[in-house]
Amino acid sequence: MENIIGLASSLAYIFFVIGIATVVAKKSQGASETSRKVVHILVGNWVFLTPLFTELWAVVLVPFTFIIINSLSLKYTLISAMERNDDSLGTVYYAVSLFFLSGLGFILGFRALPYIGVLTMAYGDGFAAITGKKWGKRKPFPFAPLKSLAGSLTVATAAFLATFGSLLYFQKDFSTERSLLFILFIALLNGIFSAFMELTGKKGCDNLTLPIGSGLFAVLTMEFGTLPYFLYLAAALAILVYAFRKEAITPDGMVAALLTAVTLYTLGGFLLGSSLILFFILGTGVSKMKTKEKSEAEKTQEHTGARNWKQVLANSLPAVILSWIYFFTDEPIYLLLAFTVFSAAASDTFSSEIGMMSKGKVFHILTGKPLPMGVSGGVTLQGLVAGIVGSVLLSLPILLAFGPEEYLLGVLLGFFGTIIDSVLGASLQRKYEDVSGKLQDIPAHAMDLPKKGFRLVSNNAVNLLSLTLVAIVGYVVTTL
């Protein structure tokens, strides 16, 4: 009965908000920024109704319903009061965030999670547009030229208040009682981090990254925050800032990398978190190594500049998922497999980056025929040897965490990763023809269609798929 009351109250409230926004839109003779912000801010208050639910299916049903409704409204303008005339998916991302945070908070028992994330998004991002428009003359962020200092301070303030109030009120949900000063410190950190996340959001993506990122950062830090954790966090941040200054990572890549680092350390421990840092340092190092041959080959490849969020997730998402599975099951095999993801990622990175410096012939991994340097699916002897070196280095944390037998497995799975990446690159990844008819990974002209492979299968997709297969094969091998 409680769930029925919760559902009825939720739907009544949501449609009440839409009704208010519709009235505002009519008074302004059409959908306006005001009507959209009314929806944005008030819908976030739905989180205060989540205590009415006693089962998971009920708490996620409302946001799941609005994922569908908002998707249809985006396409057919069903609710004009909340739509913009652009290609932003912000309203859909908003509903996805509500779904993810309410569901995960219910499963984990961390009631503060949806409150922090949703209220930061609703009030921080919502009022940032208002304060930015009124007082936002100063725009000091080169990577976000349209965002103002006033708007960022608004987001930071909202995140600080949402974090402090939620952690203080729901403190009993956590395994360790924290002092008021500790909670204030977390709230301050989350306020700064939230403001930075909002700056990096584009096309409504901040409706996804800001709530999920702020919520997870706050509750994981509250639950697992110790002196070693904060030292690790400081080291990771220092490395990312240095990499950003050297144009090795983008601002959105920094957000993805920092959230990944927090997740891996808190759920998988110091060595797994260190694997991410080690991979980033070594991978960035070999990427910066240049020869004439490599510079020429990179001209025909995807994503050869600073690492963005897609590249970060393509190389770390399987490890993040495995660390969550390990957290819920406490089965060491999933932790081991998370380590092997970075062995494989390093092996592939070493193989690709150092292989392109080879002066020898490049062979198609499936047919053995010659290929131009830099085309996905091509291998060189130098690259294969480099792949083994990368796997050996990134398997060292496995040796420390598990032992020599698991270390050998990590080395083998890591090298398997670069092989399967080349196979998938040769068979599935999209390829285009240059002006002379030779294959390359990027189109010669903006409207060119792929001549081989699948249009949606990019290099990032191949990386993600190959690392996922490494984890699956590793699971089969260890269980057999």
pLDDT for 86: 59
pLDDT for 117: 97
* Residues 345 and 289: beta-carbon distance below 8 Å: no
What does 67-123 look like in DSSP terms, one character per residue? Answer: HHHHHHHHHH-SSGGG--SSS--HHHHHHHHHHHHHHHHHHHT-THHHHHHHHIIII
Distance CA 130, CA 311 (A): 33
* Residues 370 and 254: beta-carbon distance below 8 Å: no
Backbone angles phi, psi at 363, to 5 degrees: -120, 140
Distance CA 265, CA 94 (A): 28
Where the chain has pLDDT below 70, the residues are: 25, 28-34, 77-88
pLDDT for 72: 82
Partners of 249 in the beta sheet?
Answer: 307
pTM of the model: 0.91
pLDDT for 295: 78
Locate 281 and state its tokens.
């340092």
Instruction: State the residue for tokens 């003359």.
Output: 137
